[in-house]
Amino acid sequence: MPLQFDIRAIIKSKAPKAKIPNLVIRYLERIVHVKQMNAFLRKYPDLKGYEFIDRVIHEELGCSASIEGTENIPADGKPVIFVSNHPLGGLDGMIIAQMIHETRPRPLKVIVNELLMYMEPINNLWAPVSKTSLISKEQAAEQQRMWESETDVLTFPAGACSRLQHLDGHWQIRDLEWQKNFIQRAREYQRDIVPIYFEGKNSKFFYFLACLRKLLHIKINIEMLYLVDEMYGAHGKHFKVHVLPPIPYTTFDNTKTPKEWAQHVKSIVYGTCH
């Protein structure tokens, strides 16, 4: 039986006792583009990994990307941590992962929201984290093995896609505060950090919804439901990716806290490309 993306089954797996009206299910199926995704899965039932990503980017979405600074991606040597801003919330991760794979053909894991594990053709590329609960012992052990291995890691330290924010006197689309975990891992496993800046933005509707939710003090990340819709809305767009010079792990000494170092790297990403 061909693989199918099933909204109702996903909801049931996350909230077995929840009773969701059919009207809501149909709306979710529309904004998550279930028909389009399942048509693609039926067309290419055997596609996996980077070949799947390549077809999604170039055929399903008709997108393209140009890369500046590929010379900053280490050609070989010990494993590194790639860190990037996260303007799109999905498509940017696929484009960056594909770029790294083509330039540095070695194992790579991308730290993502656990919901992306439902995309079976590419879930072997992901290292899941949960926004609502602790990861399982098996997932924790797998991540430990990942950090101890020769596998490169791509992470988005904001933990969520960029939002519209009022900074320095005007409105900007920026990541939220970067979390310190990648600094701690760089220190612990002696991994250099390769910063990446991805040029891109979502629709005005997405940012309006995010601002409205914040204004109404709604904690549930409603706008996240629209990320697949945003991905399909990016059809035909061209993106630019900037790879910045690696930062040696020895840089992250005790003159700053891990949290301060995280914001320092974030400032490098945004400061270099603006």
- Condensed to tens digits (0 to 9), the pLDDT of residues 61-72 reads 999 999 999 999
Which of 3-7, 179-183, 202-206, 270-274 is predicted least confidently?
270-274
For residue 92, give the nearest of 10, 209, 175 by alpha carbon: 175
For residue 113, give the nearest of 133, 83, 87, 141 by alpha carbon: 133
User: What pLDDT sits at residue 137?
Assistant: 79
User: What pLDDT sits at residue 138?
Assistant: 79
User: What pLDDT sits at residue 1?
Assistant: 40
* Tokens 């061209």 -> residue: 238
Asked whether residue 2 carries a pLDDT value surpassing 50, the answer given is no
Q: Which two tokens stand for residue 264?
A: 């320092």
Residue scoring higher pLDDT (239 or 168): 239
User: What pLDDT sits at residue 272?
Assistant: 56
In sequence order, which residues have a C-beta less than 8 Å from that of residue 115 and are 6 or more positions away? 10
Q: Which two tokens stand for residue 27?
A: 């709306």
Q: Which two tokens stand for residue 13?
A: 């797996």
pLDDT in tens, 216-234: 999 888 999 999 999 999 9
Mean pLDDT computed over 74-90: 93
CATH class of this structure's domain 66-272: alpha beta
User: What pLDDT sits at residue 14?
Assistant: 74
* Tokens 């992306």 -> residue: 116
For residue 29, give the nearest of 47, 44, 9 by alpha carbon: 9
Q: In which residue ranges of the chain is CATH 3.40.1130.10 found?
A: 66-272
Q: Which helix (H) or strand (E) holds 24?
A: helix 22-31
User: What pLDDT sits at residue 18?
Assistant: 80
User: What pLDDT sits at residue 60?
Assistant: 96
What percent of the chain stands above pLDDT 70?
96
- How far apart (Å, rounded) are the C-alpha atoms in residues 79 and 199? 25
Q: Which long-range contacts (CB under 8 A, 24 or more apart) does 183-190 make?
A: 183/252, 183/258, 183/259, 183/261, 183/262, 183/265, 184/258, 185/81, 185/147, 185/153, 186/81, 186/249, 186/252, 187/249, 187/252, 187/258, 188/147, 189/79, 189/147, 189/148, 190/78, 190/249
